Amino acid sequence: MSQISYKDAGVDIDAGNSFVENIKPLVKSTKIPGVMGGIGSFAGAFELPAGFKEPVMLAATDGVGTKLKLAIDSGIHNTVGIDLVAMCVNDLLCNFGTPSFFLDYYATGKLDVKVATNVVAGIAEGCIRSECALIGGETAEMPGMYSEDDYDLAGFAVGVAEKSEMDRVSLVRAGHKLIALPSSGLHSNGFSLARKVLFEKMGMKFEDDFNGKPLIETLLEPTNIYVKTFKALRNEIVAMAHITGGGIVENVPRVLPEGLKAEVQKDAIRVLPIFELMAEHVDRDEMFRAFNMGVGMVLVVEESNVAKVLASTDGYLIGEIVEGERKAVMI
């Protein structure tokens, strides 16, 4: 009677072990003070940073959405890991949390060691850009749940904030200015609509030229990470809004108290060419609800600090805080 192995069922333990060996130097490249031990234990360990009076641990989790579909179909796997880290750590910043460490979850139908290693290389690069450590993760090979070529990602970032600095909403006042920090492209939102417009409606292909390079390169441009900007200017920033799903109109109100409104000058926004292309087939208001339109983060800044922030970043003014119903309006 023949025996059935785990590999016969679609799970290759040896491939998993090979993958772990491949990523050990990638994980090591992200090591920062506070990391305790290496990968291979049952849990990652990180020492609570010193220097906080009342430290509060913050956590954020996110994925990359259907941007993964483009990475899988194009065979370009080394950038979506940057997106994964970015979507998590940029959220931490909005509560004035400094990222400390990151964990990832990689699920696939059949583990392709080369593909998975490229994905983790991107995650490690994202951690380096975020000045945080990759201290662990999980790889799940699930035949029957995913097709062989598919994979999914989830990320988890943990950081530390000073308790007294976390409540940014109460600090926002009428007269504060809104500064846009540019996005690098779509970041990791709106790809279901983008794919429908570009590939179904317009019939475009990955290799089509767009602004001097293949369209797929523009679409897979990784999400900007704003950690270094935050660390350099935290004393000049009143509040921050990460512009993800819902765009400016739904994310900026998250940092507003009752009785204050954000007035955003639509014409001031430096809309990226990829959004202008899609706007030929999508209502403008819908565009601003689905995409970041070229704005990756909005800073709320006192007028006296505007000049310093503008001089220290590639940001630009897009509006101000005024009295009114708690919402963001495009004018």
Average pLDDT of the residues in 173-179: 98
H/E stretch holding 254 reads: none
- Determine the pLDDT at residue 9: 62
Structure tokens at 187: 């970041």
Question: What is the rounded CA–CA span in Å between residue 177 and residue 281?
Answer: 32
- State yes or no: pLDDT of 19 exceeds 90: no
- How many C-beta atoms lie closer than 10 Å to residue 159's C-beta? 26
- Determine the pLDDT at residue 104: 97
- Rounded (10°) CA dihedral 278, 283, 286, 291: 20
- Determine the pLDDT at residue 287: 95
- Determine the pLDDT at residue 7: 76
Per-residue pLDDT tens over the stretch 225-277: 999 999 999 999 999 999 999 999 999 999 999 999 999 999 999 999 999 99
* Domains (range + CATH), the chain: 13-165 (3.30.1330.10), 169-330 (3.90.650.10)
Among 46-50, 180-184, 207-211, which is the least confidently predicted range? Answer: 46-50
- Determine the pLDDT at residue 209: 97
- Determine the pLDDT at residue 318: 98
Per the CB < 8 A criterion, the answer to whether 119 and 220 are in contact is no
- Determine the pLDDT at residue 153: 97
pTM of the full structure: 0.95
Q: Higher-confidence residue: 161 or 18?
A: 161
Per-residue pLDDT tens over the stretch 192-237: 999 999 999 999 999 999 999 999 999 999 999 999 999 999 999 9
Burial 278-311 (b: 16+ CB within 10 A, else e): bbeebeeeebbbbbbbbbbbbbbbeeebbeebee
Structure tokens at 255: 């940092």
As a three-state string, the secondary structure of 15-69 is HHHHHHHHHHHHHHCCCCCCEECCECECCCEECCCCCCCCEEEEEEEECCCCHHH
User: What's the distance, CA 103 to chain centroid?
Assistant: 14
User: Quick one: what percent of the chain has pLDDT higher than 90?
Assistant: 86
- State yes or no: pLDDT of 112 exceeds 70: yes
Three-state secondary-structure class, residue 294: coil
**Residue 22: pLDDT band by 50, 70, 90 thresholds?**
confident
Per-residue pLDDT tens over the stretch 62-99: 999 999 999 999 999 999 999 999 999 999 999 999 99
**Residue 60: pLDDT band by 50, 70, 90 thresholds?**
very high
- The angle subtended at Cα 140 by Cα 137 and Cα 144, nearest 5°, is 160
Average pLDDT of the residues in 316-326: 98
Question: What is the rounded CA–CA span in Å between residue 113 and residue 26?
Answer: 14
Question: What is the rounded CA–CA span in Å between residue 318 and residue 239?
Answer: 15
User: Quick one: what percent of the chain has pLDDT higher than 70?
Assistant: 98
